[in-house]
Structure 1
Amino acid sequence: MECAGRGLNFWSYQATQEIVYQEYLAKSLADKYSNLSLQMDKIIHDANAEISLLRDKISTLELDRQHIQRKNHELAEAYRVKNRDHLQARELYDKLKRRTSYSKVQSAALETVDRTLHTSSAIGGSFARKTGEMGISQQVMGETQKLPQHQKLPVNSQGVEQVHSRQRSGSAN
């Protein structure tokens, strides 16, 4: 009986040791689970914070993009307006330049006509004198200009009239 009692005591000791060991394993696994759970909660919290930060950054960048797009549109519109104004100014400048050029050509033509009339009067006609006395005028670009009074034409040594600088062919002035 003693032998059976010792066997029972050993079995009871082994069962107790097994229970203690299983409790130790359960406790260590519970600690590991709680640590992993805390780590997972921290990771989830950090990820959510980063997602929130990135969403805020995206919304800020979207507002910046809209602002830049609006500014780009305004600049493009301002460029179109300035370009249109520049083209209008260029057209007005070209018109004025043409008027000036036409005025110079007309002035040169009037001088030539006057010289021709003066030459014809010097030859014996009184036509230039009569037209000069009558005050013949010509409409030039909306302005009335009086024909110039008789001038002596430059004549070279052979008696040929010299051409005015504005009458030369190829002259752009």
Structure 2
Amino acid sequence: MGEAQDVGEGVVGEATVATLVCEAAAGPDGALKTARKGGGIFELTVDGVESHAGLDPERGASAVHALAELVTRIVALGSPELGTTVNVGEISGVTARNVVAGQARCGIDVRIAVPAEADRIDAAPAALRPSDPRVARPRPLPHRTDRGTAGSGDIGKHVAGT
């Protein structure tokens, strides 16, 4: 383990077996949370070809339309049987209503129960391709991936008195 560390309100050191984090209870019965899913926060940007939607729409390649096409594929990366969920929670196009969007982005939240799923999810954006060849391949921006914490059920049961 190593030397004791001051963590603000107390000291964590060699004799420490576990720590409890004050986090909302799991479920409506108020059960002690003994593990948590890992997660990732991603941002994906798609670059299209901007043009005037009324005067020259065929010259454009809408990044918003391409992103809308990709959202269903992104969400399909979820694997409920493995505890993996994928949610596109933000979408924006950075142009006006009368402009074929030159750029669009989405924010994605991923939760994983199986640590190996992190590698599969991290690799997925590279395989995404919009059907319009004029739209550039999506660019994933820097993200954070957390593989979660292993269940500490025995410790949790002891602390909860069960």
Instruction: Place the TM-score, normalised by the shorter chain, in its bin.
Output: under 0.3
Q: TM-score, normalised by structure 2?
A: 0.23
Task: Compare relative contact order (CA 8 Å, sep 6+) and give the higher one, 1 or 2.
Answer: 2
Q: TM-score, normalised by structure 1?
A: 0.22
Bigger share in helix: 1
Bigger share in strand: 2
